[in-house]
Every structure is written in C-alpha cells, then in structure tokens.
C-alpha cells in the first residue's frame, strides 16, 4: 500500500475557513449594498418632488390657490376634468403633471399648500411638494432605518432633504 499518494478534495478545516471568510465578507457587504440601493431610490425621488413642486407653483399662477394632497393612481382617471378633480389630482387633470403609477413608486408624493401644514410630516415649512419614503405599505416596503427619509421643495423652489436617523443620512438633493 502506497502511503504517499495525493489526497483528492479539501479537508473539513479548509472548507470551514472558506465558509467563514465568505460569511465575514457578506456581513460587511450587505449593509453597504442596502445603503447603496436606498441612496439610489432617494436620488430617484428628488426629481419627481421638484417636478411636482414646479407644477404646483405653475398651478398657483393660474389659480388663486395651490393644489394639495397625495398623488395616487386614482388621479390618472381620464374621465376627471380640471374643474371636477380635487386635491393634488388637479395637477394631473389640468395637465400640469403627466399620469404616473404613483402608488407603485418607492416614495409617497404630495403636493402642498405652503400656507398650510407639512403634508409629509417631515417637519418642513412652506412646502409646495414633498415625498416620504414608504414605510411598509403595499406594494412599497422598506427597511425601517430608511422610512424617515424624505424630500421637500418650498414655495421658492429650494429642495431640502429630511431624515431622522443621523446614521443613515440621505443624499443631498439637487437644486
């Protein structure tokens, strides 16, 4: 019997070391991956807020008041007329905004009246438009750490970001 023949395969210790190294890399990488995904969603939310805010400011130029309320899929009803629509749906019905699948986006979007309270509950003032991260509502789900993220645009067109958790600071909004 030849005792010097080569072993085929890996030992149990070698496999355990590889699994341990992969586990450590995953533990370090997954939180960063999640943060990157949420930051990308936040970047994507800033543009619609600016669009809604600008549309609401234009609406105010043509009317004695701002449109205010949540934008939902029901705003896309083609049977709605500009005079018959209510709340933020006036922006879609009066063709200031294009129809979108509002309920399926990662953020909840609002048009606001700068003289009234903050519709998103972000603590913002003079809000013409805002967006707040969905917090578990269907179909939108999120990590609770990011549910406080949001953007607002005031009546002067200045964008602001909002977040409650300082360890998960959202990206700076574009101006």
Among 118, 57, 61, 65, smallest CA distance to 87 is for: 65
User: Tens of pLDDT along 92-132?
Assistant: 999 999 998 988 888 889 999 888 878 887 878 888 999 88
H-helix segments, 105-162: none
Domain edges within the chain? 47-168
Q: With H, G, I as helix, E, B as strand and everything else as coil, classify residue 61.
A: helix
Question: Between 172 and 13, whose confidence is greater?
Answer: 13
Average pLDDT (59-87) is 89
Average pLDDT (77-102) is 88
Q: In the prediction, which pLDDT does 2 show?
A: 58
Q: In the prediction, which pLDDT does 166 show?
A: 46
pLDDT-derived band at 51, boundaries 50, 70, 90: very high
User: Tens of pLDDT along 155-175?
Assistant: 898 888 877 554 545 555 544
The Cα 41–Cα 37 span in angstroms is 6
Percent of the chain residues topping a pLDDT of 70: 83
CB half-sphere exposure, 146, CA atoms < 13 A: 21
Q: In the prediction, which pLDDT does 21 show?
A: 96
CA quadruple 49, 56, 110, 120: dihedral positive or negative?
A: positive
């Amino acid at each position: 019997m030849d005792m010097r023949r080569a072993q085929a395969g890996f030992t149990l210790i070698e496999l355990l070391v590889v699994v341990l190294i992969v586990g450590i890399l995953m533990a370090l990488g997954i939180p960063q991956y999640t943060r990157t995904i949420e930051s990308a969603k936040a970047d994507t939310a800033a543009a619609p807020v600016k669009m809604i805010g600008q549309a609401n400011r234009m609406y105010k130029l043509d009317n004695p008041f701002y449109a205010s309320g949540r934008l939902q899929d029901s705003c896309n009803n083609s049977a709605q007329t500009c005079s018959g629509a209510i709340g933020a749906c006036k922006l879609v019905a009066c063709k200031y905004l294009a129809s979108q699948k509002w309920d399926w986006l990662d953020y909840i979007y609002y048009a606001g009246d700068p003289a009234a309270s903050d519709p998103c509950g972000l603590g913002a003032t003079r809000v013409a438009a805002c967006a707040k991260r969905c917090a578990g509502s269907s179909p939108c789900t999120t990590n609770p750490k990011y549910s406080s993220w949001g953007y607002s645009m005031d009546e002067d067109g200045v964008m602001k970001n909002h977040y409650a958790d300082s360890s998960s600071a959202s990206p700076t909004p574009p101006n």
